[in-house]
Amino acid sequence: MPKITVTYNRAEDNYVATDAQENTLIFKAGGGEATTVAAQGSVGPMLCLLMAMGACSGIDIVMILEKQRQSFDTLVIEVEGEREKDVTPALWTKAHVHYILTGRVEAAKAEKAAQLSVDKYCSVAETLRRAGCAISFSVSVN
């Protein structure tokens, strides 16, 4: 299964998405939307969808945790996906989003933020879901 990692960079207020080959896209929040501001290497369009979901959801998580007055130090989002086999086009059928937080964060509030993002606020997740992709999530607070 392809896997990407999205890391929130608080100093730059952006989201750095990296694939297994170290190709990178940097997303920046702007008016609630993520826009790509830089790229390093070559990322395929389908993998870019997973990166966009991680960045979009990261924007939600940061905003929700700040509203909940949770003080987190780091946010890393791992996204794994599975595509249809032996068909063209091959859509994403499953995606799992794992949120990893460090800092003074209540686990229940982090779980609620993740649920709100995946189920309600993340436009990219909803786009994938409408295309038939089952999206699950998990949260780790260290």
pLDDT value, residue 88: 96
- Cis before 89? omega within 30: yes
Q: Average of pLDDT values for 128-136?
A: 98
Residue 133 burial (CB count, 10 A): 19
pLDDT value, residue 132: 98
Q: In the structure, what pLDDT confidence band is assigned to residue 35 with cuts at 50, 70 and 90?
A: low
pLDDT value, residue 1: 83
The percent of residues above 70 in pLDDT, for the chain, comes to 94
Overall number of domains in the chain: 1
Residue 56's contacts (CB-CB under 8 Å, 6 or more residues apart) are 27, 34, 122, 123, 124, 125
Q: In the structure, what pLDDT confidence band is assigned to residue 113 with cuts at 50, 70 and 90?
A: very high
Residue 37: give the domain boundaries: 3-141
Q: Where are the alpha helices (DSSP H) in the chain?
A: 45-67, 107-116, 123-130
Q: 36 pLDDT exceeds 80?
A: no
Sign for the pseudo-dihedral over CA of 120, 115, 60, 123: negative
Q: Which residue has better confidence, 1 or 9? A: 9
pLDDT value, residue 32: 54
- Which CATH number covers residue 62? 3.30.300.20
pLDDT value, residue 49: 96
Q: In the structure, what pLDDT confidence band is assigned to residue 33 with cuts at 50, 70 and 90?
A: low
Model confidence over 45-100: pLDDT tens digits? Answer: 999 999 999 999 999 999 999 999 999 999 999 999 999 999 999 999 999 999 99
